[in-house]
Structure 1
Amino acid sequence: MASDEAEKKDKNLLSREDGETLVKIARETIGTYLNEKRILEVPGNIDAKLKEFMGVFVTLQRNGDLRGCIGYPEPVMPLIEGLIDAAISAATRDPRFPPVTPREFEDIQVEVSVLTKPEIIMVENPREYIEKVEVGKDGLIVEMGPYRGLLLPQVAVEWCWNVEEFLANTCMKAGLQADCWLAKDVKIYRFHSQIFNE
């Protein structure tokens, strides 16, 4: 049974070619929107796998610094449609940054993260999260009432965080206290992502 599950998960993984296609379309989407003020149409010959419902984030970096990151943590639409929307949003609607300009876009690197469906981490005691979260593999979502924050798996690695720091920073991303993960009424979800970049 376990091998069947592993095989099923492997089948859901995207190939490197799929990833290259997604990154290329994300870049083309942003360039088209910035230069022509129109939304790129979904290519007609797109692989069926890229039309499956999956979560997706588009991250933009300039000289190693974050320049925009927006996406869909839940599989609410076909991957390719979510990618196109997230790419435009990362370039023009991230509230932390001014919109990317066409000239600046030449110096920006595009990264695409395709997410598995978030699953809640079940614990008896919140301290058990320390054992159940794996830095470098898991992305996290912290949810408490109307507050929700998400950090992609690569963020913890980039900042060299341990599990406790990763949990604390996800809480703060949600606009909550850093130690909110210890509260009983907080829900914590994990997900995995495949990361593709230029």
Structure 2
Amino acid sequence: MNSVPKFSLEEGKFLVKLARQSVEYFLKNKKYLPIPHTYPENLNKTVGIFITLSTFPGENLRGCIGYPYAFGPLIELCVSASTKAACEDPRFECVSTKELDNIVFEVTILSPMILLDQNKPFEEQIEIGRDGLLVTCDTYGKSGLLLPQVAVEWGFDKKKFLKEVCRKASLNDNCINDRNCKFYRFESQIFKEVSPNSDIKEEVLNERNI
């Protein structure tokens, strides 16, 4: 029940292309891309999504925004998150039209959040290459999320991954010991352009060097 819904490669390709189209449309028209009249029925599912923009070939982050908790159909969230990743990530300036030929789009579809048991070591409850992490500390009004691919790409072990999600939330490394903070794990399905505006593949993290 808590695993990520399975989407086909064709559905993944549709979402990645839609993400790029959404940004192109917004940069030109200054408004969101209308939802297509026809699209795969599976994209009406209510699941979380993140959109990541990276430079090519350097693979430097250019924007990443998403919705860990789904509040509408996946196809609608894709349009919104894509536009926000391109123009509302506070770490970056809005992308320009001329940049798009040097940017790779990546769509990450999220499973429901699974609360980790505070009475057991968190390291025993997570797996690198499978799980992303979310920490929420309502007492401090802070939260942070790291996608599963972050741990793989940076070579984090479990302990480091837990510390880094604390840092993402602008909290002390030891927030893993703070009973006011709740930790969640989640799984994902990732679809990504091989190069800008080209072939799209499904990323399988277990096939990378972990």
Does the TM-score normalized on the shorter chain lie above 0.5? yes
Number of residues of Structure 1 aligned to a counterpart in Structure 2: 189
State the one-letter code of the partner of 1:113: T
C-alpha displacement at 1:35, in angstroms?
2.0
Which ranges of structure 2 fall in alignment gaps of 5 or more residues?
Answer: 194-210
1:169 corresponds to 2:169:
no
For 2:37 and 2:116, how far apart are their aligned partners in 1?
A: 39
Query: Relative contact order (alpha carbons < 8 A, sep ≥ 6): 1 or 2 greater?
Result: 2
Name the amino acid aligned to 1:109: V
CA deviation vs aligned residue, 1:65-91 (integer Å, no higher than 9, x gap):
000000000111110111100000000
* SS of corresponding position for 2:50: strand
Paired residue for 2:24? 31
Whichever residue aligns with residue 72 of structure 1, its letter is: Y
Select the structure that is richer in helix: 1
Residues 108 and 191 in structure 2, CA contact (< 8 A), matched pair in contact too: yes
> Is 1:81 paired with 2:76?
yes
Alpha-carbon separation, structure 2, partners of 1:168 and 1:76 = 29
Q: Which amino acid aligns with 2:89?
A: D
Fraction of identical pairs, as percent: 40
TM-score (norm 1): 0.92
- Root-mean-square deviation (CA, aligned residues, Å) is 1.4
Show the counterpart of 1:94.
89
Q: Which AA in structure 2 matches 1:84?
A: V
Aligned residue number for residue 40 of structure 1: 33
Measured against aligned partners, the alpha-carbon deviations of 1:159-191 in whole angstroms (never above 9, x if no partner) come to: 000001100010011110011112222210011
State the one-letter code of the partner of 1:31.
Answer: E
Counterpart of 2:49 (choices 39, 56, 72) is 56
Runs of 4+ in 1 over 3 A off after TM superposition: none
Unaligned runs of 5+ in 1: none
Give the TM-score, by structure 2 length.
0.86
